[in-house]
């Protein structure tokens, strides 16, 4: 009896540790995918999703409508942000605009910046649909949102957590290899922030 109990305890502890490892890997993979989405949009979704979905209990129809509106608005934000970009003007400030066939709109007067280089490209549409796809995966992995519309079993949810992040990660690698993303649009870190971060990192490493 004692030996069987010890075996069961060992098996349960090993299974729990393996589940913890799977969840850690899933969260790290999901964190890498979230980087292709606007930070503000992801934060807004993660903040409002538990509230508007009533923590997944959508017995009242109003919660389903509110959750659907949240998903639609955040999905549009992810799609639209792919067509935005930023530049540093003559005033040394970062300006944002929407990419068009001729450049950025609205285009403020800037003598030192050629805004025509920010014109619309095919890769922008690829990144827009890919961002929408990644956001869809993020919604699908959100158990509260999914339970609001179509409850899934724990085994199905665990399978999605295992399969989706690595598959989307592989697709992400191919997409950004074929269509590199050089834009720093609304909701994404600007080029000046990126350069400042790299400079501060290099200076700190030099001091060490």
The total number of structural domains in the chain stands at: 2
Average pLDDT for 164-185: 85
pLDDT reported for residue 200: 36
Residue 25's alpha-carbon distances to 28, 117, 178, in angstroms, are 5, 39, 26
pLDDT reported for residue 103: 85
Tell whether 132 and 112 lie within a shared domain: no
Tell whether 39 and 134 lie within a shared domain: yes
pTM of the model: 0.73
pLDDT at 6 over 70: no
What is the spatial distance between Cα 153 and Cα 158, in angstroms, rounded to a whole number? 9
Residues in the chain, overall count: 208
Specify the DSSP element, H or E, that contains 99. strand 94-99
Better-predicted residue by pLDDT, 130 or 108: 130
What is the spatial distance between Cα 68 and Cα 54, in angstroms, rounded to a whole number? 13
pLDDT reported for residue 64: 92
Cα atoms found within 13 Å of the Cα of residue 163, Cβ hemisphere only: 7
Eight-state DSSP code of residue 186: T
Gyration radius from the chain CA atoms:
22
Is residue 147 situated within a structural domain? yes
Tell whether 33 and 70 lie within a shared domain: yes
Tell whether 157 and 63 lie within a shared domain: yes
Tens digits of per-residue pLDDT, 18-42? 444 544 455 455 666 677 788 889 9
Tell whether 59 and 128 lie within a shared domain: yes
pLDDT at 165 over 90: no
Share of the chain above pLDDT 70, in %: 72
In terms of residue numbers, what domain contains 59?
Answer: 20-83+121-190
pLDDT reported for residue 205: 38
Tell whether 148 and 60 lie within a shared domain: yes
Tell whether 99 and 182 lie within a shared domain: no
Is residue 201 situated within a structural domain? no
- Among 23-27, 100-104, 153-157, the range scoring the smallest mean pLDDT is 23-27
What is the spatial distance between Cα 121 and Cα 19, in angstroms, rounded to a whole number? 43
């Amino acid at each position: 009896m004692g030996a069987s109990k010890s075996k069961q305890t060992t098996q349960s502890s090993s299974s729990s540790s393996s589940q913890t490892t799977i969840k850690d890997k899933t969260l790290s993979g999901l964190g890498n995918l979230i980087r292709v989405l606007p930070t503000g949009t992801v934060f807004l979704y993660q903040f409002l999703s538990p509230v508007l979905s009533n923590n997944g209990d959508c017995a009242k129809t109003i919660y389903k409508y509110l959750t659907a509106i949240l998903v639609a608005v955040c999905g549009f934000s992810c799609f639209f942000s792919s067509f935005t970009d930023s530049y540093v003007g003559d005033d040394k400030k970062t300006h944002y605009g929407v990419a068009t066939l001729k450049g950025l709109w609205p285009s403020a007067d800037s003598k030192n910046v050629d805004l025509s280089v920010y014109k619309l490209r095919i890769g922008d549409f690829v990144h827009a649909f890919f961002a929408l796809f990644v956001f869809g995966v993020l919604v699908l992995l959100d158990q509260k949102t999914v339970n609001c519309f179509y409850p899934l079993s724990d085994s199905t949810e665990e399978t999605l957590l295992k399969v989706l992040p690595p598959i989307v990660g592989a697709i992400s690698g191919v997409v950004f290899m074929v269509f590199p993303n050089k834009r720093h649009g609304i909701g994404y870190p600007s080029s000046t922030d990126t350069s400042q971060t790299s400079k501060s990192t290099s200076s700190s490493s030099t001091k060490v």
